[in-house]
């Protein structure tokens, strides 16, 4: 079966910023994504978890999309406008897809 090169972009961001992020992703031409809850982690500021959080502000989500390589720079420019001023991690990896016309 033939596969096609693509990019998988995963962005971890505060849940309250999710809509702003997915809005700019749409404006950048991204037609699909998946939002996953982030239960906890550890980083520059130390360990954290959702446990015991009393507001949405402490919650984090991961927004994942798969796009064509030529769309990557446009997406990153748009996403950085949101992530730059907030907690956020952007990771990019190479992947392969079976149905390139969907991306």
Spell out the domain ranges in the chain: 4-102
- Mean pLDDT value across residues 72-83: 93
Cα–Cα distance for residue pair 96/47, rounded to 1 Å? 33
Topology, domain 4-102: Alpha-Beta Plaits (3.30.70)
Cα–Cα distance for residue pair 28/22, rounded to 1 Å? 10
pLDDT value of position 54: 47
Phi, psi values for residue 84, rounded to 5°: -55, -40
The per-residue pLDDT for range 3-58, each reduced to its tens digit, is: 999 999 999 999 999 999 999 999 999 989 999 999 877 777 777 676 655 444 46
User: Rounded to two decimals, what is the model's pTM?
Assistant: 0.85
Q: Do 14 and 59 touch, CB atoms closer than 8 A?
A: yes
pLDDT value of position 24: 94
Q: Do 53 and 85 touch, CB atoms closer than 8 A?
A: no
């Amino acid at each position: 079966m033939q596969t096609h090169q693509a990019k998988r972009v995963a962005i971890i961001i505060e849940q309250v910023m999710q809509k702003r992020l997915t809005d700019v992703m749409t404006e950048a031409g991204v037609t699909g994504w998946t939002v996953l809850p982030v239960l906890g982690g550890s980083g520059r500021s130390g360990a954290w978890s959702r446990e015991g959080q009393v507001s949405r502000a402490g919650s984090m989500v991961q927004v994942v999309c798969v796009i064509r390589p030529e769309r990557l720079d446009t997406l990153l420019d748009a996403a950085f406008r949101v992530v730059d001023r907030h907690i956020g991690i952007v990771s990019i990896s190479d992947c392969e897809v079976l149905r390139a016309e969907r991306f």
